[in-house]
Structure 1
Amino acid sequence: MREHKIVVLGGMGSGKSTLVRAIAAGAVVDTDVPNSDRQGANKASTTVAMDYADIDLPNGDRLRLYGTPGQQRFDFIWPILLQGARGVVLLLDATRTAAVHELQAYLAVLHRHAADVPAVIGVSRLDLAPTFDLESCAATAGWGQRLLPVVPVDARDRAQGLLLMDVLMSEMETRDLVVGDG
Structure 2
Amino acid sequence: MREYKIVVIGGMGSGKSTLIRSIAAGAVVDTDVANSDRLAADKATTTVAMDYADIDLPNGDRLRLYGTPGQQRFDFLWPVLLRGASGVLLLVDGSRPDAQATLASYLQVVRQHGADTPLVVGVTRLDLLPAPYLDGLAAQACVDGVPIPVVPTDARERAQGVRLMDVLMSELEAQALVARHG
Common fold by TM > 0.5: yes
Distance in 1 of aligned mates of 2:171 and 2:143: 16
> Match of 2:151, SS?
strand
Corresponding position of 2:111: 111
User: 2:147 maps to what in 1?
Assistant: 147
Determine the structure 2 residue equivalent to 1:100.
100
Structural mapping, 1:5-154, within 5 Å: 5-154=5-154
Matched with 1:156 is 156
What is the distance in 1 between the residues matched to 2:129 and 2:16?
18
Calculate the TM-score normalised by the size of structure 2.
Answer: 0.98
Deviation at residue 145 of structure 1 after TM alignment = 2.7
Do structure 1's residue 176 and structure 2's residue 172 form an aligned pair? no
Give the TM-score taking structure 1 as reference length.
Answer: 0.98
Q: Report the identity percentage.
A: 68
- Moved >4 Å (runs of 4+): none
**Unpaired runs of 5+ in structure 2?**
none
How many residues align? The count is: 182
Contiguous gaps of at least 5 residues in structure 1 = none
Paired letter, 1:121:
V
Residue identity in the other structure for 2:88: V
Q: Deviations over 1:56-111 (max 9, x none)?
A: 11111111000000000000000000001000000000111000110000000010
C-alpha deviation, 1:181, in angstroms: 1.6
- Matches of 2:108 and 2:93, distance apart in 1: 18
Residue by residue, what CA displacement relative to the aligned partner does 1:87-144 show, whole Å, maximum 9, x if unpaired? 0000000111000110000000010000100000000011111322100000000122
Task: Supply the distance in 1 between the matched residues of 2:26 and 2:93 (Cα, whole angstroms).
Answer: 24
**Cα distance in 2 for residues equivalent to 1:87 and 1:119:** 6
CA RMSD of aligned residues (A): 0.7
What residue is the counterpart of 1:166 in the other structure?
166
CA distance in 2, matches of 1:12, 1:126: 16
